[in-house]
Structure 1
């Protein structure tokens, strides 16, 4: 690997290290350097797409990213560190017929955030989750395994992506409301008699807790389905995936341990609980 490409990957690594301690902790454990670097590059792409809207609210920037991606697909690589790194990932790890649709789906999901409309049903919310999270799974699974079980790989991408995005949504209810976004579907708010004033006034009512548990249980079901398919990955990839799964699932527990206060603060998995979860992973793969 030339020095320029090494620097590109290092920049990608800095992005994931700064933005997601959970994912960095998990995937920095990959022993295969090519796969490890690929995860860093894919994360950097997703983080960049997300920040264009969440941090800069820059729709023109998102359109420019779309154009750069369209050019990339035809091997016209933009002169920036993310696409240079992704070009190397394509050469080394993606199947020759890899469909870059998940990369475009990520951009589509960010468009949905820019032109935000409240979701009426759970199905609408799940569709959003597939755009911004399951898409990431599809980008990743092909670089983490040589398995040709593409149907099952697509399923685990969907399941783990939805589970993690529902977790994000539960964790960030208050923060999202302050940013004028309510991801909780109207039908579920009505089902549990939770109105927007409850969220606005930061009230942790029994009704809100019941709503939280309802969506948390849906997330748990997706986590469980995804975990059943981890056998598709070699041990070197399976362990980081299981760590990421357990750490993210642990966020829901952290929210509950905080008396369901997801309206005034962001909850994290404690260092103590992370140690416990890492021990669980170790026991499963001894």
Structure 2
């Protein structure tokens, strides 16, 4: 499949998999937008393979998860090396990786996150939680920064890009506590649960509902901290990329804010933000992008292990 057809397929994938990201991606320049779609296509395909789902919907049990992860890693390595795999999302990754010189380490780091899920891993500590968020989202943030023109040597900018991925994943975890519990998963650190008096094996027990809501709110607050840090990092990007990142940060950040304001309703129903609010962030982010934001340093925030 040639590049043009890979882009068409990738565009369809992002429109099905994430309306929020699809909308924000339209703010990029044409070249960056196409590359972002190509990267998303591969990320989405890996996620779907790992969780037995279709564009993020209908999670099902994967018959041989270790074999699936191994195949994912092999196809990613082949595509990164310039081979055509015959699998469009992986060929999409190969295309963007070759064009932007994306280090294979970031791709492997993301796949490592799926490997953790495959073995039924759960975080013991807050540090474990952040490490997991890095694998499944922070590494993607780093790759997206490179797609937007950031050098792999610009470690401080990549740290800020990682922060946006962490913010997104923390919001996802806060939103999906009930859904994850139904699937036998829990991403709330065991140390948090123990401190709150919640049995890690019975997170959804009604007797501890208020304590669980407090932990969900804690996740939302952390998501806000990392969103704020990422906004500072956006200053290093070109105007259109800065606009897109700030819009995505606001749109997705609203999910965490809505979860916290729902006072536990996220445990009963999936939290969404309205189309109007998403469009509002596109307008608001344009104004924010006109000014390069300076602000808080990263003291106190979790930091990934940097690739030398």
Unmatched segments (≥5 aa) in structure 2:
53-59, 291-308
Q: Decide which of 207, 221, 224 is 2:225's aligned counterpart.
A: 221
Q: Quote the Cα distance in structure 2 between the aligned partners of 1:198 and 1:70.
A: 39
Contact 1:204 1:261 in 2 (8 A): no
Moved more, 157-166 or 147-156: 147-156
SS in 1 for 2:2: helix
Task: Please give the per-residue CA displacement for 1:186-223, whole angstroms capped at 9, x wherever unaligned.
Answer: 11112223335774345783322322222222221111
Deviation at 1:226, TM superposition (A): 1.0
* 2:195 corresponding residue in structure 1: 191
* 1:6 to 2:4 alignment: yes
Distance 1:270 1:117, change over 3 A: same
* 1:114 to 2:121 alignment: no
Query: What pairs with 1:172-187 in structure 2 (closer than 5 Å)?
Result: 172-187=176-191
* 1:89 to 2:87 alignment: no
Q: Decide which of 51, 56, 68 is 1:54's aligned counterpart.
A: 51
SS in 2 for 1:167: helix
Over aligned residue pairs, what C-alpha RMSD do you find?
2.2
Deviation at 1:121, TM superposition (A): 0.4
Query: What pairs with 1:222-241 in structure 2 (closer than 5 Å)?
Result: 222-241=226-245
* 2:298 corresponding residue in structure 1: none
SS in 1 for 2:286: helix
* 1:73 corresponding residue in structure 2: 80
Task: Please give the per-residue CA displacement for 1:50-92, whole angstroms capped at 9, x wherever unaligned.
Answer: 1112125252232112111222333333122223333332343
Q: Decide which of 122, 135, 147 is 1:143's aligned counterpart.
A: 147
State the number of aligned residues. 280
SS in 1 for 2:253: helix
Q: Decide which of 126, 129, 133 is 1:125's aligned counterpart.
A: 129
Q: Decide which of 22, 45, 64 is 2:20's aligned counterpart.
A: 22
Q: Quote the Cα distance in structure 2 between the aligned partners of 1:180 and 1:45.
A: 26
TM-score, normalised relative to structure 2: 0.83
Deviation at 1:22, TM superposition (A): 0.8
Q: Quote the Cα distance in structure 1 between the aligned partners of 2:152 and 2:39.
A: 21
Q: Quote the Cα distance in structure 2 between the aligned partners of 1:145 and 1:204.
A: 47
Deviation at 1:28, TM superposition (A): 2.1
Distance 1:241 1:285, change over 3 A: closer
* 1:167 to 2:171 alignment: yes
Distance 1:203 1:157, change over 3 A: farther
Q: Quote the Cα distance in structure 1 between the aligned partners of 2:206 and 2:48.
A: 26
Contact 2:142 2:159 in 1 (8 A): no
Distance 1:149 1:236, change over 3 A: farther
Task: Please give the per-residue CA displacement for 1:156-188, whole angstroms capped at 9, x wherever unaligned.
Answer: 132111111111000000000000001101111
Distance 1:146 1:157, change over 3 A: closer
Deviation at 1:139, TM superposition (A): 1.4
SS in 1 for 2:41: helix
Deviation at 1:116, TM superposition (A): 1.4
Contact 2:194 2:200 in 1 (8 A): no
Distance 1:29 1:203, change over 3 A: farther
Q: Decide which of 279, 283, 286 is 2:283's aligned counterpart.
A: 279
TM-score, normalised relative to structure 1: 0.89
Q: Quote the Cα distance in structure 2 between the aligned partners of 1:210 and 1:115.
A: 28
Distance 1:259 1:272, change over 3 A: farther
* 1:35 corresponding residue in structure 2: 32
Unmatched segments (≥5 aa) in structure 1:
none
